[in-house]
Chain A
Amino acid sequence: MPLTLTLREPPAVPLETEGLAPDRLASLRRSEIEALTVWHGNERAQLADFFAVSGDGDEELLVEGDVRRVKFLGAGMTTGRLTVARDAGMHTGADMRGGELVVEGDVGDFAGTGMRGGRLVVHGSAGHQLGGAHPGERAGMRGGEILVHGDVGDQVGAGLRRGLIAVAGRAGDGAGLRMLAGTIVALGRFGAAAGADMRRGTIVAMSDVTLLPTFTYACSYRPPFLSLYLRHLRALGLPLTDEQIEGRYARWAGDGLELRRGEILIYEGNE
């Protein structure tokens, strides 16, 4: 049985658990894990005040219970695997550098903020600012992969610098806002203002997108790199078809208010 943290009951106010990651806990004894500091609102507390600790293991950590109000799960993790059995709270996987974090349910806002490596998989939906930037920082996610099997909120990949964000469902408004590079793929519809102020990078849309007038049509073609990406995502479980992988895409360059080095690729079919 992997090392398991079971939340006894949902906290009255958000609980901050920065550093609750398999690599950090692997070197700690049970008593040391139970004594880890958590913040319950503005009050310092110990992990054992909220979680029951059971099992053991070096590489794997399981978090059970209703942790929707638990923040920063897996923040900064570098190796190993963290599974959240139900919904997870805000800032899940923030500043991740490696390993795999799997959320079986939904995840709150700011998940994967400042991420630099590893993989965050959300089987439900994600909130706003997925893979975004920390307040005051220009660049958001700088590496790694985020896969969401449901929908995502507004400003997914805001300030994205490097890495891949893939969404099986819909993306909210302002996807790729001010993005610097990297790739965002959504199989569902995008909301308004996708790619606003993007400098470089790629947004891939499998449905129609209402483009900003500052994007300019270039051509319709089969981007060679995209088949690598889409094959990779299908191997990770995203429901991509052969037609999408081998298909034609309209290339729109933008944002014209910035460098116009970014692109929105819109699936056109496989004729």
Chain B
Amino acid sequence: MRLSDTQVVDTFAEAFPMWGARIVITAQSPAWAHEAARSMTGFATSVIGCKCEAGIERELDPAETPDGRPGVSALLFASDREGVAKRLVERIGQTVLTCPTTACFNGLEAPETVNVGGQLRFFGDGYQASKVLDERRYWRVPVMEGEFLVEERFAVAEGVAGGNIIVLGRDVAGALRATEAAAAAMRSVRDVILPFPGGIARSGSKVGSRYSGLAASTNEALCPTLRAQVPHTDVPAEVGSVFEIVIDGLTFEAVRDAMARGLEAAAGAGASHVTAGNYGGNLGPHHIELRGLVPGLRDE
């Protein structure tokens, strides 16, 4: 298939269910809200090595936040509800509670909730106090700066993780330029995050390894430097560099929408090829076909 001058492989992205939460961080200034959000979503690229995947969803206008201050919303995903709860307690406790002027709120409406602020309150060592407003409980934890405010319960919902597109280009500069354009377009979609640095992974992986104990290893079929060595390669002769964008979202539709915008932007920015990663369709229940993803995609 072709989209403009870009060849699009007729394949699909294979995605998996994961549980997600939305965290709203507010602070005295946008800079401090971003500082806390970056810290909270750091080292959360892949559930394999980081126990969760997290990223900044978007900046929030003061009118959109519970306390009327500048804010940032972030999404965090883990394999199950309990995993989300543990990671939220760890990460909010270590990165938001500690960050100057921040407060932290649940940003998702869903029937299931996990206890977060109700755990973090113990930092107050008995001096903590709670407030209930509109049937939501908030904990006021005294800290040296003043007071850290955190909502007791955070909603969790089953989302979709592992949506992806893979962008190929003639060299690193060209492939990265096209992938950056794709990532920028995807960031305009609500309810999704791109958990890798800058939204982009240069080291897409396959399941397993020749070394026991490694759950994932390099995807040699998409490594340009190995094109002459491996039994099977997916790297065309004219391609010198490959990048992947992984998308986690609260809904299937949001992930699909992000993939569509990314595909269109990558093609517009000169990607030579775009494909998607899957495991043969046997592992993940969510299959997002590149065919039909955007108008203008035509068979060669």
Segment with Cβ contacts to B, from A14-22, A54-62, A224-232: A224-232
Within 8 A of A (CB), among B45-87: 66-69
Taken residue by residue from 104 to 122, chain A's Cβ proximity to chain B (1 for < 8 Å, 0 otherwise) reads as 0000000000000000000
Could you tell me if B133 and A229 are in contact, using CB atoms closer than 8 angstroms? yes
Could you tell me if B68 and A225 are in contact, using CB atoms closer than 8 angstroms? no
Q: Pick the contact of A200 from B129, B132, B134, B149 — CB < 8 Å? A: B129
A200 to B127, CA, bound (A): 11
- With both chains docked as a complex, state the minimum distance between the C-beta of A226 and any C-beta of chain B, in angstroms: 9
Interface residue B232 (Cβ < 8 Å from any Cβ of A): no
Please tell me the number of chain B residues within 8 Å of chain A, measured between CB atoms. 16
Taken residue by residue from 133 to 165, chain B's Cβ proximity to chain A (1 for < 8 Å, 0 otherwise) reads as 110001010000011110000000000000000
Could you tell me if B146 and A225 are in contact, using CB atoms closer than 8 angstroms? no
Given the known interface contacts A231-B67, A231-B68, A245-B68, the answer about A224 and B133 at a Cβ–Cβ threshold of 8 Å is no
Could you tell me if B147 and A228 are in contact, using CB atoms closer than 8 angstroms? no
A94 to B294, CA, bound (A): 60
- With both chains docked as a complex, state the minimum distance between the C-beta of A143 and any C-beta of chain B, in angstroms: 8
A contact face: mostly helix, strand, loop, or mixed = mixed
Interface residue A250 (Cβ < 8 Å from any Cβ of B): no
Could you tell me if A225 and B131 are in contact, using CB atoms closer than 8 angstroms? yes
Could you tell me if A227 and B129 are in contact, using CB atoms closer than 8 angstroms? no
Q: Pick the contact of A162 from B129, B132, B138 — CB < 8 Å? A: B132
List residues of chain B with CB within 8 A of the CB of A231. Answer: 66-68
A228 to B146, CA, bound (A): 16
A202 to B134, CA, bound (A): 17
Given the known interface contacts A229-B131, A261-B129, the answer about A221 and B68 at a Cβ–Cβ threshold of 8 Å is no
Q: Pick the contact of B133 from A164, A200, A222 — CB < 8 Å? A: A164
Closest to B103 in A: A224
Interface residue A191 (Cβ < 8 Å from any Cβ of B): no
List residues of chain A with CB within 8 A of the CB of B140. Answer: 223-225
Could you tell me if A183 and B131 are in contact, using CB atoms closer than 8 angstroms? yes
A202 to B132, CA, bound (A): 12
Taken residue by residue from 112 to 134, chain B's Cβ proximity to chain A (1 for < 8 Å, 0 otherwise) reads as 00000000000000000101111
Given the known interface contacts A221-B146, A221-B147, A245-B68, the answer about A228 and B129 at a Cβ–Cβ threshold of 8 Å is no
A202 to B67, CA, bound (A): 18
A193 to B113, CA, bound (A): 41
Interface size class of A (residues with CB under 8 A): 20 to 34
List residues of chain B with CB within 8 A of the CB of A245. Answer: 68
- With both chains docked as a complex, state the minimum distance between the C-beta of B24 and any C-beta of chain A, in angstroms: 12
Could you tell me if B149 and A225 are in contact, using CB atoms closer than 8 angstroms? yes
Closest to B132 in A: A162
Could you tell me if A224 and B67 are in contact, using CB atoms closer than 8 angstroms? yes
Could you tell me if B134 and A225 are in contact, using CB atoms closer than 8 angstroms? no
Could you tell me if A228 and B132 are in contact, using CB atoms closer than 8 angstroms? no
Closest to B130 in A: A181
Given the known interface contacts A200-B129, A221-B146, A225-B149, the answer about A232 and B134 at a Cβ–Cβ threshold of 8 Å is yes
Within 8 A of B (CB), among A176-231: 183, 200, 202, 221-225, 227-229, 231
Closest to B149 in A: A224
A261 to B133, CA, bound (A): 19
A162 to B130, CA, bound (A): 10
A246 to B134, CA, bound (A): 20
A64 to B70, CA, bound (A): 46
A231 to B147, CA, bound (A): 19
- With both chains docked as a complex, state the minimum distance between the C-beta of B232 and any C-beta of chain A, in angstroms: 57
A69 to B40, CA, bound (A): 59
- With both chains docked as a complex, state the minimum distance between the C-beta of B156 and any C-beta of chain A, in angstroms: 22
Closest to A202 in B: B131
List residues of chain B with CB within 8 A of the CB of A229. Answer: 131, 133
- With both chains docked as a complex, state the minimum distance between the C-beta of A189 and any C-beta of chain B, in angstroms: 24
List residues of chain B with CB within 8 A of the CB of A261. Answer: 129
List residues of chain B with CB within 8 A of the CB of A222. Answer: 146
Given the known interface contacts A225-B138, A225-B149, the answer about A232 and B133 at a Cβ–Cβ threshold of 8 Å is yes
List residues of chain A with CB within 8 A of the CB of B66. Answer: 228, 231
Taken residue by residue from 13 to 33, chain A's Cβ proximity to chain B (1 for < 8 Å, 0 otherwise) reads as 000000000000000000000
Central interface residue in B66, B133, B148, by most chain A CB within 10 Å: B133
List residues of chain A with CB within 8 A of the CB of B69. Answer: 227
Could you tell me if B147 and A223 are in contact, using CB atoms closer than 8 angstroms? yes
Known A164-B133, A202-B131, A223-B147; 5 more pairs at CB < 8 Å: A224-B67, A224-B148, A227-B68, A229-B131, A246-B68
User: Mind listing 29 A-B residue pairs with CB under 8 Å?
Assistant: A143-B132, A163-B132, A164-B133, A183-B131, A202-B131, A221-B146, A221-B147, A222-B146, A223-B140, A223-B147, A224-B103, A224-B146, A224-B147, A224-B148, A225-B147, A225-B149, A227-B67, A227-B68, A227-B69, A228-B66, A228-B131, A228-B133, A229-B133, A231-B66, A231-B67, A231-B68, A232-B133, A246-B68, A261-B129
Binding site for A on B (CB under 8 A): 66-69, 103, 129, 131-134, 138, 140, 146-149
Binding site for B on A (CB under 8 A): 143, 162-164, 183, 200, 202, 221-225, 227-229, 231-232, 245-246, 261
Q: Which 10 A-B pairs have the closest CB atoms?
A: A224-B149, A227-B67, A224-B103, A221-B146, A225-B131, A225-B149, A228-B67, A224-B147, A225-B140, A228-B66
